[in-house]
Structure 1
Amino acid sequence: MELVCPAGGLPALRAAVDHGADAVYLSLRGATNARNFPGLNFDRKNIAQAVSYAHTGGAKVYMTLNMYPQPDRFEPCLEVIETAATQGLDALIVADLGLLRYAAAHFPGLPLHLSVQGSATTYAALNFYRERFGIRRAVLPRVLSLAQVAKVIDKTEVDIEVFGFGSLCVMVEGRCLLSSYATGESPNTQGACSPAHAVRWEETPKGREARLNGVLIDRFDPGEHAGYPVICKGRYLLGEEGQQIRYAIEEPTSLNTLDILPELLRIGVKAIKVEGRQRSPAYVAQVTQVMRAALDACHANPEHFKPRPEWMATLAAVGEGRSQTLGALHRSWQ
């Protein structure tokens, strides 16, 4: 199984390559990807440097174009496709049907991967994308059980990539409008869940408050860890009297698949993806190193593979929230 790691900038890319990533995924700056935050991503000047460093280190480079362009933003997306095709990138990760069609028609030699934002959860959908656009790989949304993933793999020739570690999204990727509801912008259209310009932190007598476009998302006690504010992971006044403050949709937690790597290998998963282009180079280095060691051990002896305590401790220290989970993958009833 290929290890695919995030690169929000050159330092993170170097960290991933140096610590054993088989591939890195990155984006051009601007609202053409789902991590459109200030200070992240690459410009056209340093893409060549990034590709050269990765290829010299034996790693592939995948470009993400994983949002749905509005009518006035279609042209910049075409420039991303051309950049990926002319700068030696190894694949383009795309969500939008129109962009897939354009890339397949104008750059037939450019390998295409279906983004998780494409929200394809059935083999029929994947086979459609393969027949029409020639996609070679698809990243599955984090809403399928292990048995469901196996059924998809069994009935498609598309290589399947699944998330192996990182922030867990409760939504079906590609179908979430919560951020858009509060700010008018979402990762599906403008490239950012909770865009930075709409986030405000305020120190109040009741605690540190996080607001999104004026909407109170959470309130933190002194010394309490405060994560980046997104609506689905906020705490709100609930109950009949509206007096209970608790997570309404999802408690922050991290996806960690170390326990089931042999199962993922057995059913034919081709790649394990680490979430976190918005995270630091130190995070990328630590997670890549652990996942590299774990995958090597799994490949060498899958029947006797067992995660080492030090691996789990390292991932727990850099994960989101206070717990780790297999998410939908562990559903025994599917």
Structure 2
Amino acid sequence: MELVCPAGNYQSLIKAVDNGANAVYIGLKNETNARHFAGLNFTEAQISQAIDYAHQKGSKVYCAINTYPRENSWHKWAYSVDQAMDLGIDTLIVADIGVMDYIRSRSDSFPIHLSVQASATNPESLNFYHRQFAIRRAVLPRVLSLAQVSKLAQTAPVEIEVFGFGSLCIMAEGRCYLSSYMTGESPNTQGVCSPASHVRWEDRGDVLESRLNGLLIDRFGENENAGYPTLCKGRFDVGGKIQHALEEPTSLNTMDILPELYQANVAAIKVEGRQRSPAYVASVTKAWRQAIDQVVKQNQKVGQETIHKLAEFAEGKQTTIGAYERSWQ
């Protein structure tokens, strides 16, 4: 079972590799990846440096080119594919069929992993991508139950990768239009929910307000953690009560069901968090390396101490196994 960890910058990549990541995933400094934040991602020189470092340590580097190109800017996606492949990236993580077709025009065998942004949740879609573009692995959206994941992992023609830890998404990834509705800029094409150009913080003395395109998303007290303003995690007046109407800040943590995921033939566990700090990446990678080794090599269940330790890195200091616990299919 492979451990795939995030790296929003070179220091995070070092922390991930040094703490036991089998693979690290990165993005380029443009909207071709779904974490297009200022200050994140890699230049051409940094990618070469990152690949050299990871390969020396026996780890792989994956590059996410997983947003959807628009006709008038196709050249950015094509150039990003060329750049990543020519620099020696081990795998490209892709959502758009046009981008996959372009990769295949360059190589019949270059490894393609289907991004979570493609929203592939059933055998028919996985068979299609495997048949048409020879994908090797699919990253599943965070909306499936454990029974559904197990069934796919045992019957799919490709390897299955699932998110094991990090921020949740209440939507089927690749199909969220909340940000588009609020800002006119789709996260599926611009590479980020709540584009920074539309985000405003206003200090009201003892209250900090966050706004998205002028709309009030949340208010935070003096000692309250202030999360990045996304519409789905805002607080709203619902029936006279201020609450998280769509989603509470919480993080996915699947360590409790790691043995079941391993037995179901899940090939890789992915940690979310390219926007997080190197310290976060180091701590979470180390914990997951220990957990996977316990399950795979020692045939043991993960200790509660390791599971609880991750709560301090979670949004809202709380964790959940999310859709995995759903009994319905």
Report the equivalent of 1:330.
325
What is the aligned counterpart of 1:259 among 256, 259, 265? Answer: 256
Unaligned residue ranges in structure 1 (runs of 5+): none
Query: How many Å apart are 1:182 and its aligned residue?
Result: 0.9
> Does the 8 Å CA contact 1:286/1:314 hold for their aligned counterparts?
no
CA distance in 1, matches of 2:316, 2:304: 21
Q: Runs of 5+ in structure 2 lacking a partner? A: none
Equivalent in 249, 262, 267 of residue 246 of structure 2? 249
Contact 2:206–2:222 (Cα < 8 Å) also in 1:
no
Question: What is the DSSP-based 3-state SS (H/G/I as helix, E as strand, rest coil) of the residue aligned with 2:3?
Answer: strand
* 8 A contact 1:164–1:274 mirrored in 2: yes
Which whole-Å CA distance do the structure 1 matches of 2:264 and 2:209 have between them?
A: 45
Structure 1 residue 279 corresponds to structure 2 residue 276:
yes
Match of 1:315 in 2: 310
The equivalent residue for 1:305 is 301
SS in 2 for 1:246: strand
Matched, 1:32 2:17: no
Q: CA deviation at 1:84?
A: 2.2
Partner of 1:137: 137
Give the corresponding residue for 1:269. 266
2: CA distance, partners of 1:206 / 1:318: 26
State how far apart, in whole Å, the 2-side matches of 1:234 and 1:95 are.
28
Distance 1:18 1:38 in 2: 25
One-letter amino acid matched to 1:14? I
The CA distance in 2 between the partners of 1:307 and 1:105, in whole Å, is: 47
Shift of 1:69: 1.1
**Alpha carbons 1:92, 1:113 under 8 Å: kept:** yes
Contact 1:123 1:153 in 2 (8 A): no
Structure-1 separation of matches of 2:167 and 2:237: 24
Q: What residue is the counterpart of 1:95 in the other structure? A: 95
Deviation at 1:98, TM superposition (A): 0.7
Structure 2 counterpart SS, 1:25: strand
- Shift in Å at residue 72 of structure 1? 1.8
Provide the residue aligned with 1:85 in structure 2: 85
Q: Normalized against structure 2, the TM-score is what?
A: 0.98
Structure 2 partner of 1:173: 173
Count how many residue pairs are aligned between Structure 1 and Structure 2.
329
How far apart are residue 322 of structure 1 and its match?
3.1
Give the letter aligned to residue 312 of structure 1: I
Distance of 1:154 and 1:45 partners within structure 2: 40
Give the fraction of aligned pairs with identical amino acids, expressed as a percent: 56
CA distance in 1, matches of 2:26, 2:303: 28
Deviating beyond 6 angstroms after TM superposition, the runs of 4 or more aligned structure 1 residues are: none
| Aligned-partner Cα distance in 2 for 1:140–1:198 | 30
Alpha-carbon distance in 2 for matches of 1:155, 1:149: 10
Specify the alignment match of 2:126 in structure 1.
126
SS at match of 1:189: helix
Of 286, 290, 298 in structure 1, the residue corresponding to residue 287 of structure 2 is: 290
Per-residue CA deviations over 1:59-96 (Å, capped at 9, x if unaligned) read 00100011011112211111111122211111000000
Pairwise mapping of residues 6-21 of structure 1 onto structure 2 (< 5 A)? 6-21=6-21
Q: Which amino acid aligns with 1:285?
A: A
Tell me how far apart the structure 2 counterparts of residues 50 and 42 of structure 1 sit (CA, whole Å): 9
Is structure 2 residue 188 aligned with structure 1 residue 191? no
Q: TM-score scaled to structure 1, two decimals?
A: 0.96
Structure 2 CA distance for aligned equivalents of residues 296 and 235 of structure 1 = 40
Superposition RMSD on alpha carbons, in Å? 1.1
